[in-house]
Structure 1
């Protein structure tokens, strides 16, 4: 490891080429002497208007992700974040685990951080939370698929809301009011936490603010991914403006 930049940790981040939210949100979380190194998962800005289109997008990303991970393997990294929300989770736990193992091998054995694992770790850290409200970037027909990984792992999705993204790049075109409405919609009395999936949804800063008036944890996808990469690498610095999960070095 270099004694100059990235002395504590170098993190690789594989991001879809249509994504404009993950890099700035994760750069804002970077502790002293930790560096971020970006590779793009090249994909078309395809339609998400129908479930078939969403499934095609996932397949396209699935095929392109290994090349992005491979491009990072010579950076002497401590962890690689694969910044995809659905990753393997739409096909259940076994498909997700197979994909994670494949990418781990392609990376040359570098720890591979994926959304599903990071969110489950966060829910466990916050007190073994088992009931959530779920915010997704997609249209309503995709709710069942988005929820599948959670239900397969014993997490009850008590409410779900889609932000209505119609293309991959369009997912980031949300307003403060959109995020507020989504949070209110899934703030079911039985929900112990709110989970937002979709790495192109710029929700990290909003989630931190909304926790104050909701009174329960709100996990934004990008913040949780980066938190898990740091904590699993032995870095426990508090991360300001990223919510309860990141505030006290847990």
Structure 2
């Protein structure tokens, strides 16, 4: 039994440019659970259109398995995927096939952002959603397709078109607040944020209070899902109703 991770030893995958997932997941970590991070090496490339975004996605996809192999050496008990775009690709069926390839490679259970968000929205019992991302339209179309395949109605979406992978983490609260205002309406039951390098866990928790509806940040949903999948039901305060009530 691991001295510090005596309840669970999580492996975490994230792009090397991602500076948000690691501290977010550590903030949500219960006592007796440890997070062990492996970086998917990608360059901080310029992203200024759909084609540039696809080049970034390809770079992440091509190096994911190598980073996962590194985590196997610490004998992780469960894998948490700290990247999101590739986990939505090709609809629910394509996302499921991708998840299964990762499971077969690592030999343990896996949580990824797309299916974690599906589970979170089902826990809230909502069907009509809107979402924001740091992506470009080509990726928002894939996210929309995934959610619609899962039976949700996507009323609206916003893509922030951030200019590089590192710049996603430089997105301001004001940008995210403006996006939330643009998305909200009486026709929307929940607002979702995707893009794991976009820091929105605390802002989403605050927005739930004044909008009186679920505002689900992908990092909170992903870590919540991983904890519940391994039988850990600790309630964590201050980071949204998903972690504190479900």
Query: Into which bin does the TM-score normalised by the smaller protein fall?
Result: over 0.9
- Which one is further off, 212-221 or 87-96? 87-96
Cα distance, 1:55 vs. partner?
1.4
Give the one of 185, 200, 205 matched to 1:203. Answer: 200
Supply the distance in 2 between the matched residues of 1:234 and 1:56 (Cα, whole angstroms): 37
Supply the distance in 1 between the matched residues of 2:31 and 2:87 (Cα, whole angstroms): 32
In structure 2, runs of 5+ residues without a counterpart are none
C-alpha contact 2:134 2:168 (8 A) present in aligned 1: yes
C-alpha contact 2:129 2:191 (8 A) present in aligned 1: yes
Cα distance, 1:144 vs. partner?
2.0
- Which one is further off, 175-184 or 198-207? 175-184
- How many residue pairs match? The answer is 246
* Residue matched to 2:10: 11
Give the one of 214, 234, 238 matched to 1:237. Answer: 234
Q: Please state whether the residue corresponding to 2:223 is helix, strand or coil.
A: helix
Cα distance, 1:142 vs. partner?
4.2
Cα distance, 1:162 vs. partner?
1.6
CA RMSD in angstroms, aligned pairs only: 1.3
In structure 1, runs of 5+ residues without a counterpart are none
* Residue matched to 2:91: 92
C-alpha contact 1:41 1:61 (8 A) present in aligned 2: yes
Supply the distance in 1 between the matched residues of 2:6 and 2:87 (Cα, whole angstroms): 32
Q: Please state whether the residue corresponding to 1:134 is helix, strand or coil.
A: strand
Q: Does residue 218 of structure 2 align to residue 214 of structure 1?
A: no
How far does the alpha carbon of each residue in 1:109-154 deviate from its partner, in whole angstroms, 9 at most, with x for none? 2111111110001111112x21111011124464323312111222
Q: Please state whether the residue corresponding to 1:87 is helix, strand or coil.
A: helix
Aligned pairs for 1:87-166 (under 5 A) are: 87-107=86-106, 109-127=107-125, 129-140=126-137, 142-166=139-163
Give the one of 161, 167, 170 matched to 1:170. Answer: 167
**What is the TM-score when the length of structure 2 is the normalising length?**
0.96
**What is the TM-score when the length of structure 1 is the normalising length?**
0.94
